[in-house]
Amino acid sequence: MLLVSAKALRFPQLLAPSSFVAMSKPSDYSPILNGVIWSQIVLACTFVALCVYTRQYIVRALGWDDVVMVVNLVRIGCMAS
């Protein structure tokens, strides 16, 4: 079953295959890779911060594994920049 929006029903030219633009292969992937890497680092920082917060303020037991996570995250962040 094909779902078509109400706007497409009022304007049938929106459904025409000629309106689709073929994307070409980029010549340089560095901006894409840079965006992916930094978004993963931001996501990792968020989860490590939540983990450290939970261990420090809720469990009240910060262990060596938490320190290793923070050190590795800082190291990876320095390598990415």
At 14-48, the pLDDT tens digits run: 555 555 566 788 889 899 999 999 999 999 999 99
Q: Are 48 and 73 in contact (CB under 8 A)?
A: yes
Contacts of 31 (CB under 8 A, 6+ apart): none
Domain that holds residue 78: 30-81
Burial class (CB in 10 A: 0-12, 13-18, 19+), 26: exposed
- Domain count of the fold of the chain: 1
Residue 25 is assigned to a structural domain of this protein? no
The residue with greater pLDDT, 72 or 5, is 72
Which 8-state DSSP code applies to residue 45? H
4 inside domain: no
Average pLDDT over residues 48-63: 94
pLDDT of residue 79: 86
Residue 14 lies in a domain: no
